[in-house]
Structure 1
Amino acid sequence: MIYVDNNATTSLAVDVALAMSQAYESAFYNPSSQHQAGQKARRRLDDARETILNSLGAVTTRFASDRLVFTSGGTEANNLALFGLGKETSGQVIISAIEHPSISEAADQLTSRGMKVRVLPVDGNGVVQFDQLDQWLTEPTRMVSVMLGNNETGVLQPIQEIATICRDHEVPLHVDAVQGIGKIPVNFRALGASAMTLTPHKFHGPRGIGALVLDDRVTLKPSMFGGSQQLAMRPGTESVELAIGFERALQLAVEALPDAGPSMLALRDRLETLLTDLIGEDEMVIIGRDAPRLPHTSNVAFPGLDRQALVMALDMAGVACSTGSACASGSSQPSPTLLAMRLPEDVISSSIRLSLSRFTTEPEVDEVASRISNCVKHLRQG
């Protein structure tokens, strides 16, 4: 099986597994315990937190210190941000039309509770249009949430421009950066965001842990109660082992990025070129290709085919890919992201997502292109 579904999850790097194995042996103690062993685990947890913050360009000085709240993953971190960011409990929330379900469906919950939620539209390439944002922010606003790079199309968003507008209105901006970390340089302070979500299983780290990075000036209300851990912002016994795996995975991703980023981009472009040559430019659509994209993500449509039938055929042919977000991959409903882009129905219904990692090889890409071509031609003939 050739795996090109890395936006769903990635393999665990060997060095990360080793670091976690050692932690399970030596740092299994409860970091909230008062005995020496527990306090040793606490120090190791704090070291991991500081290393992660520093790797992300956050500020950790005695004059200003950004914070990192460990969660169970990206979904919890996004929910924590949407429900907890901002000084006020009232006021509208603004999101984009292409957010991950952990933002968009959480926003639906806010709507059901009577809160006003406004949605920024996107253009035909999937880029968020923020012309109205300055005007919208003249109304009381609790927070804004816009993702860094789309999980389905890879299209990058104008975060710094949006952050400037939010800053002028003193409204916190949350950025879901889950798909960007390890693929492009991401500096929390340079983005200008008030909060940022990430999770290491997208860059060869462990599942079961994520984080919300918080600017030192932002207020966060907890969604869970019953403990004093993490300044009571997210109570519960922290997993030192998962935090150490998170730390090591991020270190490796940042170290590899100068080579891995261009390599993934070259392989992504090679894959798209091969598909075009094998299938024909008139027989396929590369979604978002005219916008800046993450280097590892390609969303390709084959009008006239059914996306789920194609993914099943590819699975049988030994290619693991998806029809979109893994959190919604079991749904037969069309992609909200592609609908928001106002793409033709035959494009939306025939698109698949191919996502690479820093461990993907050129022979794998060549073979994937060949197998997709064979499956597409077979389905068209059938």
Structure 2
Amino acid sequence: MSLPKSTKLALSSYLSGSRIKKILKYIYLSFSKYKLVKKDGTFDSEYLFFISHEKILREDHLKIFESVFQSYKKYSNEQCCKLEYKRVFSFSLSKLIKAKFRLYKLLEIQMEEVINSIDFTNIKNLIVFCDTTPLQNYIVEYCHKKNIRTLGLQHGFYPSPLNSKYWRRIYLASNSDIFVAWDKQTIDYMSLYSKNRKRKFIKAGPITFNIEKNNTTNTEKVKKISIYSAGIDQKEINNYLVKLTKYIKENSKINVTFICHPYFNFYNRVINSIKTGIKFEKNSKKNDNYDCHLILNSSVWLELEQKQCRFIRLDTMYYEKDDLSTILEKILDKKFNSSNLNDSNLRIPFCNSDETINKINKFLSTGETK
């Protein structure tokens, strides 16, 4: 199967970046392949759960997907199969020659190898973790040709595509028949870029897990805060957050820690720290104690809410271009807490984790999306 348009969009997003980054990604993809690292169940099942890792392995993603898989097995008492793939080092000169050293053709060959390793004879339902990553997107397209029903999960907050070429490609690439959406804004954006496609949405909030609550109160003086970056490809948002970090440092005595998204590796953190003059900390720094947390287009606030931490979601202030001094005033206001933040209801999750999993289970068993 040649690369479908949606998979090419997914790949173009994956390969976006500066010239040097594109060269490094070309080398990485040329010297790696997809490998099955875990299989749970057999192909006798009608239900195939599929997840793959293109860049780094996210333990939180695996945990969420495993919970959906195990929950449906228990709910339906059906046989289910779950496959997990990741990229591993491998070089094949013959494949490069066959692909005529064209990257997209090489990736098509690699993805087709995965397709050929799966017995789809009995499969009637495909559940993927993220239908905008290349391999999962490609398998969804293959299942469309086989009339296999497909379902994709939302795994993070999707920002506005209106001023972002990168996110327009993401919305256009999303290709599952049924998409589990966290909030109304995501459905609005998905619908905007799915006008000629027959797609349905399950209104279900994110899947989170029980997290130990924080004993600190919101009335203490703020001395130490954290600011969370967006994904590595969201340059405009990250530039704004760097600017905000510098502003707070220059106009207050608050200690500010800039915490990177998990996709920022050591090289990315060092380069960005040098370029901006702000230290880009690894994601594990989020486990330290802070008096307040600032978040923009990040699902980390769901964890903070469960911990009962004091946090400020910057989404509305960012899109409405509020002055940076307004944000600093809110941080310094002892009476201010997360619950009275004037944020848009469009970003409020539809339901909690248990309700979300129940809605997915109900759909897989009955086809009902409500």
Q: TM-score, normalised by structure 1?
A: 0.34
Q: TM-score, normalised by structure 2?
A: 0.35
